[in-house]
Amino acid sequence: MLTAELAAKRVEVARQLMPKGAPLAYLMNPLAPEAPRYLQEIEAIARELKQELIVVKASNPEQIDAALAEVNRRRAGALVVSIDGYLFSRREQIVTLAARDRVPAVYDRRPYAVAGGLVSYGEDLSGAYRQIGVYAARILKGEKPADLPVVQSAKFELVINLRTAKALGIEFPPQVLALADEAIE
C-alpha cells in the first residue's frame, strides 16, 4: 500500500477545504500496529508544509467522541482520518460527529463517503482484491509465490459526497469535480 504518498494527497485535499492558517486534525487509533509509522508519515508531511497538526487518538467509541470533541474545541479546519480497520468499523460514528461539528473530513476509503463523509481518496480496493484473486489462481496452478512480481495498486479513487459538501457550505471547484471518480448526490 502506498500509505505515505496517499497520506500526502489526503492532506493536500484537506488543506484545500480549510481556512488558511487553521490547524489540521489527524484521527488515529494508537493500538493499530501500523499507527506509529502512519503518525510519523503525517507528522513529516505537516512539517514539510509548515502545517499545524492536532493529533487525536481513539481506540473505542467513547474515545472517538472525545477525540472529535477535541477537534471541534481546537477549531481544526479539517480532519484526516488514519487508515485503520477499527476506525473504518466506526465510520458511521466518525462521519456523524464530523458532520455535527461541521468539520470537513478526508478519509481513505469510498464507504466513508457513501456513509456521508465529505471526501475519500484511496486505493481502488476492488482492483486490489481482483489482483489478489489473480495471484491466488496463479499459485493454485503451481507458480511459486517467490517468483511472482510485487505489484502495487495503480488505480486510486476520489469520491466526493456533494450532499455533505452542501450541508457544510463547501463548493468544490469544477476542476476538482472533474477529477472525482464519483460524486455522490
CB 159 within 8 A of CB 182: yes
What is the CB neighbour count within 10 angstroms for residue 16? 15
Quote the CA–CA distance of 16 and 86 in Å, as a whole number: 27
Model's pTM, two decimal places?
0.86
Q: What is the mean pLDDT of the chain?
A: 91
- Residue 6 in grid coordinates: 496517499
- Residue 93 in grid coordinates: 460514528
* DSSP designation for 141: T
Quote the CA–CA distance of 168 and 119 in Å, as a whole number: 12
Amino acid identity for residue 123 in this structure? E
The reply to whether 52 and 73 lie within a common domain is yes
The reply to whether 75 and 143 lie within a common domain is no
CB 108 within 8 A of CB 158: no
Q: How many domains does the chain have?
A: 2
The reply to whether 141 and 107 lie within a common domain is no
The reply to whether 129 and 42 lie within a common domain is no
Q: Domain range spanning residue 130?
A: 125-154
Percent of the residues in the chain that have a pLDDT greater than 90, as a whole number: 68
pLDDT given at position 162: 96
The reply to whether 14 and 90 lie within a common domain is yes
C-beta contacts of 47-50 below 8 A and 24+ residues apart = 49/11, 49/15
The reply to whether 89 and 143 lie within a common domain is no
- Return the residue matching grid coordinates 457513501: 114
CATH code: domain of residue 29: 3.40.50.2300
pLDDT tens track for 67-118: 999 999 999 999 999 999 999 999 999 999 999 999 999 999 999 999 999 9
